[in-house]
Structure 1
Amino acid sequence: MNKPEILAPAGNLEKLKTAIDFGADAVYLGGSKLNLRALADNFDNETLIEGLKYAHDRDRKVYVTLNVFPHNEDLDGLEDYLRELYEMGVDALIVSDPGIISAAREVVPDLELHLSTQANNVNWKSGLFWHKIGVKRIVLARELSLEEIKEIRQKLPQTCEIEAFVHGAMCMSYSGRCLLSNYMTGRDSNRGLCAQPCRYKYYIVEEKRPGEYFPVNEDERGTYILNSKDMCMIEHIPELVEAGIQSFKIEGRMKSSYYVASVVKAYREALDSYLENPKEYKFKQEWLEYLMKPSHREYSTGFYFGDKNIQNYESSAYVRDYDIVGIVKKYDKDTFTALIEQRNRVFEGEKVEILRASSDSFEVTLKDMKDKNGNKIDAARSAQMIFTAVTDIELKEKDILIKAKEK
């Protein structure tokens, strides 16, 4: 049976570790150059080496993105950068531009190449072309249906892997090939600086009536005519596996560690459950609940089953029902005391939910809260402050504390 990997985003070192701790088989990240998330924390050489060690020590993989459409000046130092990544031991490069691919084949011929979704691969002939010039894996465009993906898998050789997005933000243009951001703000989406103007609210201005703004209505549902829903395929794991997709990709290098933990946990548990016993597999509602709590837009299944109902014309706002309030750094079993790093405000006596990689979620009450100096506090209010709290149930290092968002 096809056993796909879970591929998670890693916007920084903490998110890399979170993704791996919660079950990702591989992570993808941006280095210091040529990646499409220029505004993410990204990895310098020092943190990348640390991340590679963390992943490889746990038999996981790290893919580095070089998927911009580079201008001439972007190519300065490319060969040296490719050699650096190879010598560090990255497992693959995610690439889209033929110039970068050509340079990689010349300079680091043994380094595995994955074709980015930015290359908009939507048919098997194109996939075969890229495979013949040295690409090991095709990251399919999001605009494909499940039936099209099945045909691509059937017609490509088994030596050519296919990867597809299964969760996260969608783009109103073909996999990011959009000029709106550059035109409206001067920030080039194809060089990692997208301002997401597709999420703006628009009005019509008639040429001869400047200053008169008319709302854009589509069947009276609203004005966010370019705003895509987020993709969520958690309820369709069997179809994805049977289609032959070899890597399930999660979008979100700009998202929080809580998002990464929740999404990876949901897809890890669902996939493992299906692979363990396909005939007896049943979808569990708790997997969807994991995905409903971190920040997200309204969900759809994207283009997998056709392109209906994938835009949200009413609002571009995120659904934010839960906040991460802390991460457990240490737990003393003798005193039932957790050492916690704060992420959002939390009060003594509050019930919080514990998100843990290896078990179902559960609730605890935070008691006897103190700051790092042992002084009694009624709340952890300062960003990333270290505090302690007593709990009735034993916690573990790396447990994530969440609570319903304050109304």
Structure 2
Amino acid sequence: MKKIELLAPAGDLEKLKIAVDYGADAVYFGGEMFGLRSGAKNFTVEEIQEGVSYAHDRGKKVHMTVNIFAHNEDITELEQYLHRIKEISIDAFIVSDPGVMMAIRAVMPEAEIHLSTQANMTNYRTAEFWGKQGVKRIVLARELTFGEIKELREKLPEDMELESFIQGAMCISYSGRCLLSNFMIERDANRGECAHPCRWKYHLVEEQRPGEYFPVEEDERGTYILNSRDLCMIEHIPDLIQSGLASLKIEGRMKSIFYVATVVGAYRRAIDAYYADPEGYVFNPDWLNELKKVSHREFTTGFYYNQPTNKDQNYQTSAYTRDYTFVGLVKSYDHETGMAVVEQRNKMRLGDEIEVFGPFTDYFAQKIEILLDEENQPIEAAPHPQQIVKIRMKQPVAEKYMLRKQK
């Protein structure tokens, strides 16, 4: 049985390295232009080279998003950009626009092409069309059920791979093809600038009564009529693996390293547990609890089992649940003294109860009983961003372990 790929988001170079170290089989990222996440830091050409080398040295793959819907003024600049990166050994390009696909083929004839979810691929005839254009993998539209995915797998050539999202934000529009942001504030979602107006608060206003706001539901706060819950499929690993998918994709190139580490780590443990004993596999609730410790909305299984209903929307709020705060990243550890050098990411104090976790490990809890500054002087708190401190650890840790505390 070929093991399914766990594909993680990388909004910048630090996140790419964290995703690889915490167990991703592959990562996807965007360059400084032509991806659909202009709000992420994204990668310079030099960072692309470094990130690809870092992943390849560890046996992991790197996919690059070039999935905007290009306008005429984009084409020349796109072709120039492709020439700048053509010597970098990127494993695949994620593309939605046929013109962009042609441009990549012209510059890099042997490049592997993956069809972006933005292309709305929902049936095997369309998949056959894209296969004839040389597409190696289809990133499925989020609107497909398990039944439809299995039928696709049965009807398509074995060498055409299927990839699907399993975790992260859901779009109210069809596979992300949304014009709402463009219409309301002239930021084009299909060129990487979505303002997420689907998360805004809405009231009903009658034309002859300006200023009178009628709640769409019986709630004085208004209603978030377009606000979907977040996708979460960690409780359904056997169904995902048995569906014929080749890759399981986590959404979130604009999320933090804390988010990437936590989500990748939870899915890594769940997937590995299944392959270790498919017949005796039992879901561990701790994996879901881990996902609830990062910023998230309430969860849904999206379209996998049925058409979503009003239970898959959240009409009360678009706010995230944030029960835990990421407070520190371990830079080094001294086994003799048990002291860890930690880069502060949010304020922590002497006496705080924290949880500590790392790649391929369960977390452990402890109190901060010894807190020192860089000169080994005792301090009461670490309030400054990226302040370097030293903390006595109850158990051994290593570089890139993370500290969190409950709010």
User: Which TM-score band (shorter chain)?
Assistant: over 0.9
In structure 1, distance between residues paired with 2:218 and 2:226 = 11
> Secondary structure, in 3 states, of the residue corresponding to 2:129?
helix
In structure 2, distance between residues paired with 1:368 and 1:290 = 26
| 8 Å Cα contact 2:86/2:107 also seen in 1 | no
| 8 Å Cα contact 1:218/1:313 also seen in 2 | no
Is there any run of 5+ residues in structure 1 with no aligned partner, and where?
A: none
The aligned residue for residue 245 of structure 1 is 245
AA in 1 matched with 2:165? F
Segment drifting more, 203-212 vs 182-191 = 203-212
The aligned residue for residue 403 of structure 1 is 405
The aligned residue for residue 345 of structure 1 is 347
The aligned residue for residue 372 of structure 2 is 370
In structure 2, distance between residues paired with 1:124 and 1:84 = 35
The aligned residue for residue 54 of structure 1 is 54
Displacement of 1:200: 0.6
The aligned residue for residue 179 of structure 1 is 179
> Secondary structure, in 3 states, of the residue corresponding to 1:28?
strand
Displacement of 1:106: 2.0
In structure 2, distance between residues paired with 1:30 and 1:205 = 40
Segment drifting more, 256-265 vs 369-378 = 369-378
The aligned residue for residue 24 of structure 1 is 24
Pairing 1:70-81 to 2, within 5 Å after superposition: 70-81=70-81
| 8 Å Cα contact 1:96/1:116 also seen in 2 | yes
The aligned residue for residue 256 of structure 2 is 256
In structure 2, distance between residues paired with 1:221 and 1:272 = 44
| 8 Å Cα contact 1:198/1:227 also seen in 2 | yes
> Secondary structure, in 3 states, of the residue corresponding to 1:29?
strand
In structure 2, distance between residues paired with 1:103 and 1:320 = 42
Displacement of 1:358: 2.3
Segment drifting more, 298-307 vs 387-396 = 387-396
After superposition, the Cα gap between the structure-2 partners of 1:51 and 1:353, relative to the gap in structure 1 and judged at 3 Å, is: same
Segment drifting more, 206-215 vs 78-87 = 78-87
> Secondary structure, in 3 states, of the residue corresponding to 1:76?
helix
Count of residues in Structure 1 that have an aligned counterpart in Structure 2: 405
> Secondary structure, in 3 states, of the residue corresponding to 1:248?
strand
Is there any run of 5+ residues in structure 2 with no aligned partner, and where?
A: none
The aligned residue for residue 277 of structure 1 is 277
Are residues 1:322 and 2:324 paired? yes
Percent identity of equivalent pairs: 56
Displacement of 1:79: 2.2
Deviations 1:238-273 (A, max 9, x none): 011111000000000011111111111111111111
Displacement of 1:172: 0.2
In structure 1, distance between residues paired with 2:176 and 2:270 = 29
After superposition, the Cα gap between the structure-2 partners of 1:218 and 1:60, relative to the gap in structure 1 and judged at 3 Å, is: farther
> Secondary structure, in 3 states, of the residue corresponding to 2:260?
helix
Segment drifting more, 219-228 vs 203-212 = 219-228
Equivalent residue in structure 1 for 2:360, among 355, 358, 365: 358
Segment drifting more, 32-41 vs 80-89 = 80-89
AA in 1 matched with 2:388? I
Displacement of 1:219: 10
In structure 1, distance between residues paired with 2:63 and 2:360 = 25
AA in 2 matched with 1:81? Y
The aligned residue for residue 296 of structure 2 is 296
> Secondary structure, in 3 states, of the residue corresponding to 1:87?
coil
Displacement of 1:123: 0.7
Are residues 1:163 and 2:163 paired? yes
| 8 Å Cα contact 1:105/1:134 also seen in 2 | no
The aligned residue for residue 332 of structure 1 is 334
AA in 1 matched with 2:351? G
AA in 1 matched with 2:343? E
Calculate the aligned-residue CA RMSD, in Å: 1.5
> Secondary structure, in 3 states, of the residue corresponding to 1:376?
coil
Displacement of 1:2: 4.3
AA in 2 matched with 1:53? S
In structure 1, distance between residues paired with 2:137 and 2:317 = 36
Deviations 1:126-155 (A, max 9, x none): 111011111110000001111111111111
AA in 1 matched with 2:243? A
Displacement of 1:310: 1.7
| 8 Å Cα contact 2:30/2:42 also seen in 1 | yes
> Secondary structure, in 3 states, of the residue corresponding to 2:312?
coil
In structure 2, distance between residues paired with 1:42 and 1:83 = 18
> Secondary structure, in 3 states, of the residue corresponding to 1:367?
coil
> Secondary structure, in 3 states, of the residue corresponding to 2:125?
helix
| 8 Å Cα contact 1:92/1:112 also seen in 2 | yes
The aligned residue for residue 37 of structure 2 is 37
AA in 2 matched with 1:261? A
In structure 2, distance between residues paired with 1:133 and 1:106 = 13
> Secondary structure, in 3 states, of the residue corresponding to 1:271?
helix
In structure 2, distance between residues paired with 1:238 and 1:184 = 42
> Secondary structure, in 3 states, of the residue corresponding to 1:36?
coil
Are residues 1:15 and 2:12 paired? no
In structure 2, distance between residues paired with 1:149 and 1:202 = 35
In structure 2, distance between residues paired with 1:220 and 1:150 = 45
The aligned residue for residue 150 of structure 2 is 150
After superposition, the Cα gap between the structure-2 partners of 1:384 and 1:219, relative to the gap in structure 1 and judged at 3 Å, is: closer
The aligned residue for residue 133 of structure 2 is 133
| 8 Å Cα contact 1:218/1:225 also seen in 2 | no
The aligned residue for residue 396 of structure 2 is 394
| 8 Å Cα contact 1:163/1:248 also seen in 2 | yes
Displacement of 1:317: 0.8
TM-score (norm 1): 0.97
AA in 2 matched with 1:185? I
Displacement of 1:89: 0.9
Displacement of 1:209: 1.6
